[in-house]
Structure 1
């Protein structure tokens, strides 16, 4: 069995891991701080 793994590298200033209210609030605050 052969596995093929695709890796995509991106460069960011911030990464929000997770979801829900806390993740959404973090994303909004980051966008407002640096529009």
Structure 2
């Protein structure tokens, strides 16, 4: 199991680095707030 902590806001998806985009794409669970 791997835990990744990625800042996801505010802002556009275009500002995420490729490694963060891949970690989000590979994730089984994403926890955030609105």
- Superposition TM-score, scaled by structure 1 size: 0.35
Higher relative contact order (CA 8 A, sep 6+): 2
Greater helix share, structure number: 1
Give the structure with higher Rg (CA).
1
- Superposition TM-score, scaled by structure 2 size: 0.35
